[in-house]
Amino acid sequence: MAKKHLAKRGLVALAIAVALTMGTAVGTAFAYYTDTTNAQGMISFSYNPEPPSTEVEEYLVDGQKTVAIKNTGDVDAMVRVKVFYPEFPEDWGVTIEIEPSEKGMEWTQDVVGVDAEGNPTQNTEGWLYWPHPVAPDDKTPEFTVKATLKNGSTFNQPFDITVVQQCTSAKSFVEGKPLLGTFADGEKSLRLMTIAEDGE
């Protein structure tokens, strides 16, 4: 009889312990659910299902690097390029110049951007812009990165000339207007057209 009484007391104690544990867990779960709230509102999100795509085409002509940018995508693109090469001391007699082809005379660095306050910024990073859209499977006119030695120069070391390019959609481009497009560092416009438009 005492054993049965002891067993009943053990079961009652176990039931109380389980009930207390469950009550504590329920309180925790309830507190978690009452702490969460549903977010409301909208986040602006821009997605271009047909982003432009371009690549550098380069080859040697008379020992000089000749460059064009090809549109490999499905939409018109605005492009810019940047040429990297070593800076040589003047007494080495090495000069590097960018020479556009006859059809590429409109390659330009005379471009301005806009800073966070809306003030114009100059093209100080040396980007070279083609001021017309490049159609799919088409390419820009060429330019040559011409390396020459002055008379008497004994320089004969190899060096690299690297060309990088960026592209953006031509959706915002309008022929005859200064805006070229929005590149990675913001909107870019033809400087002389911008001045003329502001003076109207």
Token pair of 103 as six digits: 């059809």
What would the mean pLDDT of 110-126 be, rounded to a whole number? 86
Q: What is the distance between the alpha carbons of residues 140 and 127, in angstroms, rounded to a whole number?
A: 15
- 114 residue type, one letter: V
**Which residue shows structure tokens 């504590």?**
24
Mean pLDDT, rounded, of the chain? 82
Beta-bridged to residue 4, according to DSSP, are none
pLDDT band at 30 (very low <50, low <70, confident <90, very high): very low
CB-based contact 58:104 (threshold 8 Å): no
Residue of higher predicted confidence among 86 and 117? 86
Tell which residue, 100, 67, 69, 76, has the closest CA to residue 180: 76
The rounded distance, in Å, linking the Cα atoms of 60 and 73 is 25
What CA–CA distance (Å, rounded) separates 72 from 92? 40
Q: Which pLDDT belongs to residue 51?
A: 86
pLDDT of residue 36: 47
pLDDT confidence bin for 198, thresholds 50/70/90: low
Q: What is the mean pLDDT of residues 90-98?
A: 91
Q: Residue 152: what pLDDT?
A: 80
pLDDT of residue 102: 94
- Indicate if the pLDDT at residue 78 is higher than 90: yes
